[in-house]
Structure 1
Amino acid sequence: MLFITTLAISAICTVNPNAQNLGALIYNDISISVEDELASDVLLALKEDLGLLMKVYWETDDTDGCDTTKTISLTLRNQPAVVVLERIANQIGKEEDRATWQLRDGVVEVGLKSVLSKKSSQRLVTYPIMDLLFVVGDFSFLDQNNNQKTQPTDDEKQIRIDELIEKITLLVETEMWEQNGGTCTITNYRETLLIRAPDFVHRQIGGYAFMPLKPTDVKERQVRYGDGRTSVRRN
């Protein structure tokens, strides 16, 4: 097994522990070459190499989780640690229940989506609807208002809100939403969406409210979170 870290976080200060973990995943570039290595050994090496607090939810006699017998075959060169972690997670999930990662209480959690999305792991976040229109990409409502300089009717507002909710539940972790049989909820209150969901769902909707801790001698990187496909752009 080979892990090579080419960037390391050197800042010593009091920061949001989740920001520190996220910074380790975003700003450390790693090379890995493994063939049929136990997933538990690979994740332990990644955890120790990055200095992360990491919790992996493995299957036990009493609880569901990732299969402890799963092995990893993976070769990557000079990739952000988050990309490596996601490629590992892709190999330890189940066909009907994929694995992912999330940040919670200063810990990087790795496990099946059904496990990470339990009610006890969810948090309620409010999203101003006008902000989400830009994220989801629905500009027609805004363009219409700018051109006509008229206020939308209540019915028009409700149509747009319903369309936005439909897009989110269709494009972001479809099976996780209550209307699709999952445990996550999304409701509208005074033109604000109230979303109760785990971290791995929230980051795909609005990103993180904090910046990842960045080494002082490294340029800022642009990050886009998707379903098991975090994109990191080096500047």
Structure 2
Amino acid sequence: MRWTILILTLVASLASVSLGARRTSENAAARAALSRTLPEVRFTNITLQDAFDFLRDVSGANLHVNWRALEAIGIGKDTTINVRLRSVPLRSVLNLVCSEAGAGVGAALTFYVEDGVIEITTRELADQRMITIVYPVEDLVMDIPDYDNAPDFSLTSTVSNSRSGSSYATGTRGSYQSRTQTGGEKSTSKAERGQQLVQLIIDTVRPDVWRENGGPAAIRYFNGQLIVTAPRSVHEMIGGPID
């Protein structure tokens, strides 16, 4: 019985790893399609459905449009757009098409990659799905001493001291100290620097989405890590694409 449980656990673990690797590969292919340069895009009073169909065909990308979400805010398949571009990646084209379509109703459209599919929907709907990710930031908040009497290893001082018979460079006798050790400017703690990092992100990465500003997203620092619960778009601005 014990061996049966172990075998089933191993099979489930391997299946999970295989599924994760496949999704990563599919998402990588979708992002490659977003980076693919299109020679020319000429949309003149063309319907949104025809525009997306064209982009799907010319790029080979798995492009899915959540028409129900778009229609709920007044954007239909027959909504017309005007976009003319040359030698730009698919990502830029989609950004402009979404911007053009949303401008008429005062709403924001967005797109994201999931399971190898480029999903086009409203920003409001996309932001409803919150994802929690823990980011290690120890290297960003670590204390780096600022020495104010570090050794002088210049050629001039070395030659000068060798002539005088000293084996030390000028100013290096004894141990050297940081400014905080010598009564200089007091450094901040890791926790304080972590909180400064949190505030920097709140101020620069979609400020309206954070709980401090009335939004649903949350971020806090704890023991060298940032714990962020936010929409996918926010995570991708902080740490890049997520799978």
The aligned runs of 1:1-235 (5 Å cut-off) are 16-59=25-68, 64-65=72-73, 67-68=75-76, 69-93=78-102, 97-119=107-129, 122-130=130-138, 133=140, 145-148=144-147, 156-208=189-241
State the Cα deviation string for residues 94-140 of structure 1 (Å, max 9, x = none): 56542221112221111221111113xx3222211245x4xxxxxxx
Instruction: Give the distance between the partners of 1:156 and 1:23, measured in 2 at CA.
Output: 42
In structure 2, the gaps of 5 or more residues are: 1-21, 148-177
Instruction: Give the distance between the partners of 1:112 and 1:209, measured in 2 at CA.
Output: 19
> CA 1:30–1:21 in structure 2 vs 1: closer, same or farther (change >3 Å)?
farther
> CA 1:28–1:59 in structure 2 vs 1: closer, same or farther (change >3 Å)?
same
> CA 1:181–1:66 in structure 2 vs 1: closer, same or farther (change >3 Å)?
farther
State the Cα deviation string for residues 43-70 of structure 1 (Å, max 9, x = none): 1211222222222223469x84561153
Deviation at 1:33, TM superposition (A): 0.8
Higher Cα radius of gyration: 2
Deviation at 1:28, TM superposition (A): 3.3
Deviation at 1:177, TM superposition (A): 2.1
Q: How many equivalent residue pairs?
A: 184
CA contact (8 A) 2:195 2:220 kept: no
In structure 1, the gaps of 5 or more residues are: 1-13, 134-140, 211-235
Greater relative contact order (CA < 8 Å, ≥ 6 in sequence): 1
Deviation at 1:79, TM superposition (A): 0.7
Instruction: Give the distance between the partners of 1:96 and 1:190, measured in 2 at CA.
Output: 42
Q: TM-score, normalised by structure 2?
A: 0.64
Residue 37 of structure 1: SS of its match in structure 2? strand
Instruction: Give the distance between the partners of 1:32 and 1:88, measured in 2 at CA.
Output: 11
Residue 77 of structure 1: SS of its match in structure 2? strand
Structure with greater helix share of residues:
2
Q: TM-score, normalised by structure 1?
A: 0.66
State the Cα deviation string for residues 201-221 of structure 1 (Å, max 9, x = none): 2111111368xxxxxxxxxxx
Instruction: Give the distance between the partners of 2:106 and 2:146, measured in 1 at CA.
Output: 47
